[in-house]
């Protein structure tokens, strides 16, 4: 029995040491998963992730003094919450949703723009609109010269 056990150990050690030679024995090495590409949009709130064959991603937002925040199964573009991160420098990365072994993109670092509504005046000159991520309603204050 001891001789058989020794032979099995020797064969296992040989297989481990053979490394890349396993392909010749019918074992294919798994290709490393590709990493997505992440880019920042001009508004400094949205991050785009792209990877062929992937539609959802895990995003991570890192900033000094706060725990890393992970957001799973998110479609691109990803909104960096301006109410939480506005005025802060953040680092953002993403990987394809699925196994945790999926490769992470290289981090991008940027300053998140402080939240401030964008106003627009309709062509009739009477209607004013406002937009701001994660904001549903606004209070408008109208001032005119010579009136309180």
Q: Does residue 63 sit in the same domain as residue 91? A: yes
Question: Does some domain include residue 135?
Answer: no
Q: Does residue 43 sit in the same domain as residue 107? A: yes
Min mean pLDDT across 47-51, 72-76, 127-131 is at: 127-131
- Expressed in angstroms, the distance from the first to the final Cα of the chain is 101
Q: Does residue 69 sit in the same domain as residue 95? A: yes
Compute the mean pLDDT over every residue in the chain, rounded to the nearest whole number. Answer: 81
- Tokens 């481990």: give the residue: 16
Stated pTM of the model = 0.65
φ/ψ region of 20 (left if φ > 0, alpha if ψ in -120 to 50, else beta) reads: alpha
State whether residue 25 is helix, strand or coil.
Answer: helix
Length of the chain measured in residues: 148
Question: Does some domain include residue 143?
Answer: no
Q: Does residue 17 sit in the same domain as residue 53? A: no
Q: Does residue 46 sit in the same domain as residue 9? A: no
Confidence band, pLDDT 50/70/90 cuts, at residue 137 = confident
Q: Does residue 54 sit in the same domain as residue 75? A: yes
Question: Does some domain include residue 65?
Answer: yes
Question: Does some domain include residue 61?
Answer: yes
Instruction: Please check the confidence at residue 19 and state whether its pLDDT lies above 60.
Output: no
Question: Does some domain include residue 15?
Answer: yes
Confidence band, pLDDT 50/70/90 cuts, at residue 148 = low
| Total structural domains within the chain | 2
Question: Does some domain include residue 57?
Answer: yes
Cis, bond preceding 77 (omega within 30 deg of 0): yes
Full domain range(s) for residue 103: 37-111
């Amino acid at each position: 029995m001891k001789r058989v056990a020794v032979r099995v150990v020797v064969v296992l050690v040989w297989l481990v040491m053979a490394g890349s030679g396993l392909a010749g024995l019918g074992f294919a090495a798994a290709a490393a998963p590709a990493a997505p590409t992440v880019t920042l949009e001009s508004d400094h709130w949205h991050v785009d992730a792209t990877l062929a064959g992937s539609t959802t991603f895990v995003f991570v937002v890192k900033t000094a003094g706060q725990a890393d925040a992970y957001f799973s199964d998110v479609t691109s573009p990803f909104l960096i919450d301006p109410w939480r991160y506005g005025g802060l420098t953040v680092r953002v990365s993403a990987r394809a949703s699925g196994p945790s072994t999926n490769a992470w993109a290289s981090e991008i670092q940027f300053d998140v723009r402080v939240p401030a509504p964008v106003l627009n005046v309709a062509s009739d000159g009477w209607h004013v609109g406002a937009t701001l991520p994660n904001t549903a309603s606004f209070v408008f204050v109208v001032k005119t010269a010579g009136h309180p």
